Structure 1
Amino acid sequence: MTISAGTGTDSTAIPAEFAHDDGRALALEMMRRMQRVRLFEEATTVLFHAGELPAMVHLSIGQEAAVVGACVATETSDYMTGNHRSHGHPIAKGARLDALMAELLGKATGVCGGKGGSMHLADFSVGSLGESGIVGSAIPVATGAGLAAQVRGTGEVALCFFGDGAASEGVLHESMNMASIWRLPVIYFCENNGYAVSVTAEESLSVPEVSMRAAGYSMPGITVDGQDVLAVYRATRDAVARARAGDGPSLVEAKTYRFHEHAYGLQVPTPYRDQSVVDSWFETVDPVRLFHDRLLGWGIVTEAELAEQRAEVQSEVDAAVEFARVSPFPPPEAAYADVYAPSEVHP
């Protein structure tokens, strides 16, 4: 069954999730994590223009509500896999910014020892199992993590991020079929930003909504406004509860926007988006701005509190950049570490 869900958060009435002390803390945590993603990515653009990044980067600016709303609905011990648009996922899951930034700069103090870089971030301490530039490649990893949790009976769920481009990869359909048959605790989460590089979703998808494909695998499917962090949180929370109860997987689709190019600085020869429309998104569909205004409208926090929070996050990001800059590069011999499992050498 496919359900189209509205945001339901434009009312002046405080949403039930935020109408108590713990709810206020939840709202502030959502904003804090979105600010961590936004300011981390803005710092990344500065490093890019300064020539300090060793490779291209894929930014999550514009998609903060989708990744944060989904990750906040999980526990730290739950598993998560991302994709090539990679920074926002571990940040939203709670990973340390300094080790993430060090990884982007190829430093030994990075989450992967400087070997992974921007598109290969993993932080097992928060359940982040890894990401890859190969489209759809993390989907079976998340499915396997769900199977492992089921076999062990340890109660974790697996949150699997992918884009609208990967929605047509065979591995997604194989994984959803398997997960449905075995009732695996997996949430397949599509960040549909409308473009697979420069190919529109309308040109590449046979259905108007990715969530409609859930029906073919006997699992619930829902499409939500990906710029509304609370709408995303609600949909993912319900899918997580279903998975944890042993009722199997779900497919959640968040309609969102990629504010920058597919890869930051990438020069696409033929324009495929109206730049004036893209520029307007910062005023009309910016998820950070939208949630900021809603929090003030609901009277949950004050402007001063939000400004203080943003300043705290900015200090954290600044410290992460400095940590990354002063950290050493891995030594040459590190190239052979983590390649083979340790073993005794026999004559």
Structure 2
Amino acid sequence: MTIQHAAAPTGLAAAERVELLRTMILIRAFEEAILRDYHADKKPAWDIGAGLIPGEMHLSAGQEPVAAGICAHLTANDAVTATHRPHHLAIAHGMDLNRLAAEIYGRETGLGRGRGGHMHLFDPDTHFSCSGIIAEGYPPALGQAFAFQRRGTDRVAVAVTGEGAANQGGFHESLNLAALWKLPVVFVVEDNDWGISVPRKASTSVASNADRAAGYGMPGVRVEGNDVEAIHAAAGEAVARARSGQGPTLLEVHTLRLWGHFEGDAQGYRPELAEVPEHDPIPAYIKALTDDGALDASAVDGYRAEAVQKVEDALAFAKSSPTPKPEEALRYVFVEGA
């Protein structure tokens, strides 16, 4: 198989391009609000277990183009498995913001009744799941794709992981079985250059994980530039291939992590840290759309205000929802006897 490097696409209508931008703006508004509340009450002494949002937090600012470009091709009947950095994909796939926020805040109205937190989001309504285990989402996506295939549907599964997970056994086993059975699955690798604090060149023997697709007899595509339209084009081909029964595709996107691996990460390992903000994909896409005449710059403030209002409404819902009762902490976690 020849490795393809997606070029800048053409043919998207102005309304479609604006919708991609609005999805990205909504994701960023959500992440910024979570960032604010997460840090609000963890000082003066940093306590990861304290505050409105206890536990670790991994935010996806900078990786919005991946979610917007891929999920634009999916319906709620398609399945998505994500990583420990999942919010952008959950939002782009149509997850209810209220229930998402409530789960992050550990409330009874959350997706998992507040028991899972932000790394363990399970939503039957959108067939979405994620986990903190590296490469965990690939094998379950095979099961979903196998079920879709056996039922004779055109539904697809999309399995997303980071570039560090491409060195895990679950990654390689999943690619092999998906290709062998021609399962309707799209494998996505988000390459943000850093596996926590380890640069990819120090952990991975190939320059592009898309090259690994050849070893399993499937197309491999790498998209450079964190370009939402290039991602949209590559994902469109991969999803269409899966829907038509032609089997899996491996899609790697070179994206950007604007913030730390986790909140509280000082990022002293990043020599390029001072230059990161200038590569923010949202201002770049706004400029591209306005330069092309596809977007009125005055509309952007309205899109941002609308997104912020949606997010603040969701956070207000979460904060006003009850926390699990201590005596019921294990309810919904373990199977209860008949």
Q: TM-score, normalised by structure 2?
A: 0.93
- Which position in structure 1 is the counterpart of 2:198? 199
- Which position in structure 1 is the counterpart of 2:332? 338
- Which position in structure 2 is the counterpart of 1:190? 189
Tell whether 2:266 aligns with 1:272. Answer: no
Per the TM alignment, residue 334 of structure 1 is displaced from its structure 2 partner at its CA by 4.1
User: 2: CA distance between counterparts of 1:329 and 1:167?
Assistant: 37
- Which position in structure 1 is the counterpart of 2:28? 38
Q: Is the 8 A contact 2:165 2:171 kept in 1?
A: yes
Distance 1:115 1:339, change over 3 A: closer
How many residues matched? 328
CA offsets 1:155-212 (integer angstroms, 9 cap, x no match): 2100100001100000111011000000000000000011111111111111110000
Q: TM-score, normalised by structure 1?
A: 0.90
Mean CA deviation greater in 299-308 or 176-185: 299-308
Q: Is the 8 A contact 1:69 1:229 kept in 2?
A: yes
The 3-state SS of whatever aligns with 1:17 is coil
Alignment of 1:1-347 (within 5 A): 1-8=1-8, 15-18=10-13, 24-51=14-41, 52-128=52-128, 130-225=129-224, 227-267=226-266, 271-274=268-271, 277-283=272-278, 285-332=279-326, 334-339=328-333, 345=338
Q: Is the 8 A contact 1:62 1:287 kept in 2?
A: yes
1:63 partner letter: Q
Per the TM alignment, residue 6 of structure 1 is displaced from its structure 2 partner at its CA by 4.5
User: 1: CA distance between counterparts of 2:239 and 2:121?
Assistant: 23
User: 2: CA distance between counterparts of 1:328 and 1:25?
Assistant: 40
Q: Is the 8 A contact 1:2 1:214 kept in 2?
A: no
Q: Is the 8 A contact 1:63 1:257 kept in 2?
A: yes
User: 1: CA distance between counterparts of 2:53 and 2:178?
Assistant: 38
User: 1: CA distance between counterparts of 2:53 and 2:2?
Assistant: 42
How high is the sequence identity, in percent, across the aligned residues? 39
User: 2: CA distance between counterparts of 1:116 and 1:50?
Assistant: 21
Q: Is the 8 A contact 1:143 1:175 kept in 2?
A: yes
The 3-state SS of whatever aligns with 1:125 is coil
- Which position in structure 2 is the counterpart of 1:12? none
1:288 partner letter: I
1:103 partner letter: E
Per the TM alignment, residue 143 of structure 1 is displaced from its structure 2 partner at its CA by 1.1
Mean CA deviation greater in 46-55 or 57-66: 46-55
User: 2: CA distance between counterparts of 1:99 and 1:219?
Assistant: 37
Per the TM alignment, residue 336 of structure 1 is displaced from its structure 2 partner at its CA by 4.0
1:299 partner letter: G
Per the TM alignment, residue 330 of structure 1 is displaced from its structure 2 partner at its CA by 2.0
2:88 partner letter: G
Per the TM alignment, residue 124 of structure 1 is displaced from its structure 2 partner at its CA by 2.0
User: 2: CA distance between counterparts of 1:256 and 1:4?
Assistant: 17
The 3-state SS of whatever aligns with 1:142 is helix
CA offsets 1:200-230 (integer angstroms, 9 cap, x no match): 1111111110000000000000000252111
Per the TM alignment, residue 127 of structure 1 is displaced from its structure 2 partner at its CA by 2.4
Per the TM alignment, residue 340 of structure 1 is displaced from its structure 2 partner at its CA by 5.2
Q: Is the 8 A contact 2:115 2:333 kept in 1?
A: no
The 3-state SS of whatever aligns with 1:133 is coil
Q: Is the 8 A contact 1:259 1:281 kept in 2?
A: yes
**Root mean square deviation, CA, Å:** 1.6
CA offsets 1:118-147 (integer angstroms, 9 cap, x no match): 11112221221x111110111101111101
The 3-state SS of whatever aligns with 1:16 is coil
Per the TM alignment, residue 338 of structure 1 is displaced from its structure 2 partner at its CA by 3.0
